């Protein structure tokens, strides 16, 4: 049985755990060959690669620091060389550092922008040179791009707002080549970094219309749809996967 992403090659940055791993699984389940990147968790990356290969697709992992544009560009090219082409780029890698205005160090501000914005920019610029018609670029943003529901997330919100703006501009730039560019904006998702039983879970659940956390695989399914042929007329869009948090 031919699956909807059979023959496609995908890169998921920061794909060794959490939402990134769920996205990699969803793409593989739909038949795509998948490369994941990681910065400091080689064992988790190797384990996920084996899991993806068991689904009958090709899979590989590469180490890359998303804060360094040169490494990101090399990563994109390595994936294209390994699979022979690159059809789907998922910019998932990111960091989340909180603190009130004036209390976050300059280094932490710079780190968030370097990874959350600069790393995405570098990946898209390189992928745009390689991708052909039907290419898909999907960035994992955040509901924080349009709302800051609690204090201390201004810097993070700014990075995700920048990615959202970039998405709209890139959609215009790459539309003539037949490449779509979209951003998925999750709300509270049950991961190790933000568990559904964590200290701030009650307030986050109450903020959603559904009264619960989302599951990583729900984000993965959304990304897999945007990567498919069925989403060919969706570009420049911000897709909320937040249980109604931003409603």
Annotated catalytic residue: which of 156, 166, 213, 245? 156
Please measure the distance between the N-terminal and C-terminal CA atoms of the chain and give it in whole angstroms: 39
Q: How is the beta sheet containing 88-91 ordered, strand by strand? A: 59-63, 33-38, 9-12, 88-91, 136-140, 180-186, 238-241
Give yes or no: 156 in active site: yes
Catalytic residues: 156
């Amino acid at each position: 049985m031919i699956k909807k992403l059979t023959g496609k090659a995908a890169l998921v940055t920061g794909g060794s755990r959490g939402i990134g791993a769920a996205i990699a699984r969803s793409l593989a389940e739909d038949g795509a060959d998948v490369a994941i990147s990681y910065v400091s968790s080689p064992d988790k990356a190797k384990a996920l690669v084996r899991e993806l290969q068991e689904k009958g697709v090709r899979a590989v992992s590469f180490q890359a620091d998303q804060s360094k544009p040169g490494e990101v560009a090399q990563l994109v090219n390595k994936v294209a060389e390994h699979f022979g082409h690159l059809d789907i780029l998922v910019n998932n890698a990111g960091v989340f550092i909180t603190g009130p205005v004036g209390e976050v160090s300059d280094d932490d501000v710079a780190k968030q922008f370097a990874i959350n914005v600069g790393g995405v920019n570098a990946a898209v610029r390189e992928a745009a040179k390689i991708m052909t018609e039907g290419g898909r670029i999907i960035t994992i943003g955040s509901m924080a791009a349009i709302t800051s529901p609690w204090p201390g997330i201004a810097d993070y919100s700014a990075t995700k707002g920048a990615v959202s703006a970039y998405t709209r501009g890139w959609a215009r730039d790459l539309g003539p080549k037949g490449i779509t560019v979209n951003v998925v904006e999750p709300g509270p998702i049950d991961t190790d970094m933000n568990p559904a039983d964590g200290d701030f879970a009650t307030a986050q659940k109450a903020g959603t219309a559904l009264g619960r956390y989302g599951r990583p695989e729900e984000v993965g399914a959304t990304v897999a749809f945007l990567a498919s042929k069925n989403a060919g007329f969706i570009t420049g869009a911000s897709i909320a996967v937040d249980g109604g948090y931003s409603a």
